[in-house]
Amino acid sequence: MTFNSYLLEETELLNEFSKHNIAGLIAKYMIPLSPGMMERLGYSEDNKIAYHLTNFSKYFEQMVKSQGKKGHLSCFTRGGFELARVPSQPDVLIKLQGKMIIEGDTDIWTLTSSRGVRWLDQDSRIKGNKMSFNIEGILRKLSKKYAIDFEELDIELVKLDQKIQVRFYRDYLTAVESYLDRGGYKDLNNYLKSAADMSYNEVIMSRIEILEVACVEIEQDYIINSLTNLGITYAGVVTYHDIKKIKD
């Protein structure tokens, strides 16, 4: 792959700089889960089956529209009792299929940018880990290259011309991938196993296809009617006890 084609592949991510506080995400040592980077590093998987809990009236319509698109969705393939406390007040469980970007053995603490790309919030969760140490080294070198104050990185990045901001982000993404490819994947793999102590796991999915939808705890006619009109399979009612037992 040529460097120009690499940049073309990452265009959607680079364009985020003007629409979200990417400077703040970088300054917190977060790692963008670039689909291209995850593919090249061997973390992606096609045709993965996963599950997502959500509130039907608030979010389902948007999910239907997002099918087949690049945006990221946080899902799980192993249930857990903690899912009963999801703050979105879910009333449906969605079974879906799509491209897996990355998978953790537990909750891996991802945040979503305004463009729908998820970032790994690894430094906030495990202070002093090897991954944070290496990313700090990357950012110190980039700060020196761009003649900005590392200690005020988030502020300094915002001050830069937009084109230079994009170059900085490009250099950051390239350096992070190089670090992971040269052995940092061991640090990432360790993080994916130990980021939290949750019984469920987190899987980041893209280009999803909704396979079926079940009501959670209580069957609701308006959900069934909506699914029928959309031509989506209704899978009946599931309890949180059922969800806890999911293990694909």
pLDDT tens digit sequence for 7-39? 444 544 444 444 457 788 898 899 999 999 999
Instruction: Kindly report the average pLDDT of the chain as a whole number.
Output: 89
pTM of the predicted structure, to 2 decimals: 0.89
116-172: pLDDT as tens digits: 789 998 877 666 688 999 999 999 999 999 999 999 998 999 898 888 988 999 999
Residue 201: closest CA among 106, 65, 81 = 106
* CA–CA gap between residue 8 and residue 21 (Å, rounded): 22
Between CA 51 and CA 210 the distance in angstroms is 10
What does the pLDDT read at residue 34?
92
Please write the tens of the pLDDT for every residue from 193-204.
Answer: 999 999 999 999
pLDDT at 162: 85
What's the pLDDT at 204? 97
First to last CA, the chain: 34
Query: Can you tell me the distance from the alpha carbon of 217 to that of 239, in angstroms, rounded to the nearest whole number?
Result: 5
Q: What is the pLDDT of residue 128?
A: 67
CB 125 within 8 A of CB 29: no
User: Mind listing the pLDDT tens digit for each residue in 29-81?
Assistant: 999 999 999 999 999 999 999 999 999 999 999 999 999 998 899 999 999 99
